[in-house]
Amino acid sequence: NAGVTQTPKFRILKIGQSMTLQCTQDMNHNYMYWYRQDPGMGLKLIYYSVGAGITDKGEVPNGYNVSRSTTEDFPLRLELAAPSQTSVYFCASTPFVVRGRVNEQYFGPGTRLTVT
Amino acid sequence: DAKTTQPTSMDCAEGRAANLPCNHSTISGNEYVYWYRQIHSQGPQYIIHGLKNNETNEMASLIITEDRKSSTLILPHATLRDTAVYYCIVPGGNAGGTSYGKLTFGQGTILTVHP
């Protein structure tokens, strides 16, 4: 299994441009997540999905959109890039969540995004 | 999520045991303790988790105090490749609204393993 893969690895955007960060997992996991990590900080949850067709906002959703048309893919869309979105973006997945207990999350290698 | 407190940084000599503490005094009875680490520029990696009993796997051991208010992650023979940021996470239980599996990553402990 390749696990969780993310593309691109690096990207530089100009202010106002848009792009889609791709995330794919081949483990048939139901739950998928998008986090961002600013320099020297912990990860913050942007959006998550509990299955195909179901998505919801995390802590910092403004400026982003997601979709989940298949179990495998969970793309993150930036519509109007701003310098505040300069960050490293991580996608993660987990097979299921038992209430009160969280199964281990598998993370992708990340996408480094710079907006100038 | 229950609040966790970890030291900002720690050092360890290669080959020695690294003991990373975590305080989670507000933990409730059904909340697990999870440990992840993040090696520079990579995605976080799951290490181990536990509820009340001590746990061991191929990567580490987790010692949880009897009152569950603190825990210690032990890397028995640290190597240079163990240099990373280590996160202690206590996701909320039934009252914590984490039915979707959210993990809250704080600042973590920067572990530096020296030759």
Residue, of A12 and A39, whose pLDDT is higher:
A12
Q: What is the pLDDT of residues A80-94, one digit of tens each?
A: 999 999 999 999 999
Tens of pLDDT along B99-112?
577 788 888 999 99
User: A6 near A111, Cβ under 8 Å?
Assistant: yes
Interface of B with A in 56-115 (CB under 8 A): 87, 91, 93-94, 98-108
- For B53-83, the pLDDT digits (tens) are 899 999 999 999 999 999 999 999 999 999 9
Please tell me if residue B34 touches chain A, with a CB cutoff of 8 Å: yes
Q: pLDDT tens across A62-86, in order?
A: 999 999 999 999 999 999 999 999 9
pLDDT, mean over chain A: 93
Q: Would you say residue A37 has pLDDT above 90? A: yes
Residues 6+ apart with CB under 8 A from B29: B68, B93
Chain B hits for A110, Cβ within 8 Å: 41-43
Those residues with Cβ within 8 angstroms of residue A26's Cβ, 6 or more apart along the chain or in another chain = A1, A2, A3, A72
Task: In whole angstroms, give the CA distance from residue A26 to residue A3.
Answer: 6
Backbone angles phi, psi at A84, to 5 degrees: -65, -10
> B10-19, B30-39, B41-50 — which one is most confidently predicted on average?
B10-19
Q: How high is the pLDDT of residue B53?
A: 85
Tokens, residue A105: 């999350």
Q: Which residues of B touch A4 (CB under 8 A)?
A: 43
Q: Is residue B17 predicted with pLDDT exceeding 60?
A: yes
